[in-house]
Amino acid sequence: MTHLHGTTRTNTISFSNVLFSFLLSEAASQPSVCGRAPRNNRIVGGVVAPDGHWPWQVSLHRIFGSHFCGGSLINNRWVLSAAHCFESLSAGQITAFMGRQTQNGPNPNEESRGVSRVISHPNYNPSTSDNDIALLMLSSTVGFSDYIVPVCLAAPDSSVHTGVPTTVTGWGTMRENGFVTNELMEVEVPAVGSRQCNCNYGVGRITANMICAGEGGRDACQGDSGGPLVLNTNNVWVEVGVVSFGIGCARPDFPGVYAKVSRYMDWINSQITTNQPGYVTFRSTGTDSDLSVTCPGLPPPAPTTPATTTPAPVVCGEAPLNLRIDGGSSAASAGIWPWMASLQRNGLHVCGGTLVSENTVMSDAGCFSSSAVASEWTVVLGRLQQIGSNPFEMTFDVASITLSSLSGSNVALLGLSTKPTLTNYIQPICLDDGRTFAVGSTCWAAGWNSGRGGDQQVLQEIQTSVANCGNASSADTICTSNFTVEQGDVGGPLMCQQSGSWFQAAVLTLQDNTTRTSRADTVTVLDRVNRFNAFLTENLGTFLSPSSASGGATAHAGSVVSVLFNLLVLATSLQLFL
């Protein structure tokens, strides 16, 4: 068998078919800016990629030489590429070009940098091309523009089913053994399942660290190795593969083979310890047709459901990393409030919310006064800061938005397109089902007001306590010592702990609290979640229950590592939520 890599298949694009790219919107800064191409606004296009359509694309040159491999910008100083590109090259022999469109002519939007380090994966195998992935550290940081933007990377729990459209880009040859092109090219290629790809290449040739894509007439080719294979999810481009190898170019039975990016988050983050790349979860829906593929020597697919075990029921109100004590800091740390959700429109945070079931987020209905179209919204779970690295976050499309219709304030339920994988950083909160929150008991509020949290807009929290409502008292209200709710906090929770589990007592809303009580010391007045129980029961069914072993957060606090981690973060807390 012939597999092509290095200078032989320094591997993008044979274009016999029509190509296309997708609509993206602009965001603010890395990694929240990742995967957004402000100038990419076409649906179907030609062979040549217009300027700025793929702003993470990198062209790697030998010093005083020509293009030899591609790469992708993943933050302001690091490039992701293929290990086989650097088997005979050192960092000092390489120049990286960002914002480049043509290899022969002016590139007014271009930036170039030397390369100070090349780090190939320690388990890269040149014979099999397994773990064919590498990181390049630029000699200095590069600024972002419409033409230079980092790409998002596929998170570890991503799945790409057979037939999902992906796009590969580069300056590779237009046909097998042809000449490289001067213009950046693009082609849409369908994903090919690993079972089918193994049957094509020979069972055992395609490992779990590889992903395949392509079909006859559309493929990567010589000159594109190290370049990105990307797909679009909710106007964000995510790199799922790095061009690695293949037999020929665009042959009907041999799709291109790529290093599977979702397998390498831990390794990438171990090398890039500051300003880490942005990660996005992409999950295909439905059943993957690749599971039905068989050929001689190919083992049957692993069973999709356990044969003898029953999954443990999902419980609510558990926060394994929450070591919060009275008088804690105003800046939350990762995992402290694992039900917190960031509701985003056009890639920007609008409101807070909470995970209240296995696939539903609750927020304030007022957040959707400008638009209640589900496709315009995404939900981010596991996020700590709005600007900067969030290695534990997952992003979900919104499938539905349902608003309650009581007089006064109302709540919204957002159905997520897929169920989140529950971790220490993503858990549902319990809902108030008519509980008593005694005056004086401690509660907390949390949110992402853009005016708080420093440059990275870290999730802010405030400790408060249940107060007497005075003449604002009713069965539908709960009052606390006064604190200010601002726009970015709206939709977030007022949460109180009982018997070791956390319950959401209210949804944060904007209101003039001082006019609703005659008490001399003002209080914050909120509508209790219990007020919406009929609506919530109709749409959620039975509420999730807390763990019967009511250790809740404290029962999970035995990890010395978790304790030290949270104490470290608390020691570096930012400004007050108030």
Question: Which residues are marked as active site?
Answer: 84, 132, 225
How far apart (Å, rounded) are the C-alpha atoms in residues 271 and 278?
14
Backbone dihedral angles phi then psi of residue 553, each to the nearest 5 degrees? -65, -40
d(CA 286, CA 571): 45
Token code pair at residue 343 = 């509701």
Q: What are phi and psi of 72, to 5 degrees?
A: -135, 135
Residues 503, 495 contacting (CB under 8 angstroms):
yes
Count CB neighbours of 451 within 10 A. Answer: 10
The C-alpha R_g of the chain, in whole angstroms, comes to: 26
Which residues does 357 contact at the CB level (< 8 Å), separation at least 6?
Answer: 428, 540, 544
Cα 347 to Cα 379: distance, rounded to the nearest angstrom: 10
> Would you list the DSSP string of 222-282?
TT-TT-EEEEEETTEEEEEEEEEE-SSSS-TT--EEEEEGGG-HHHHHHH--SSPPPEE--
Longest dimension (CA), the chain: 84
- Paired strand residues for 430: 503
Q: Token pair for residue 479? A: 């009052």
Closest CA to 226 of 49, 360, 85, 332: 85
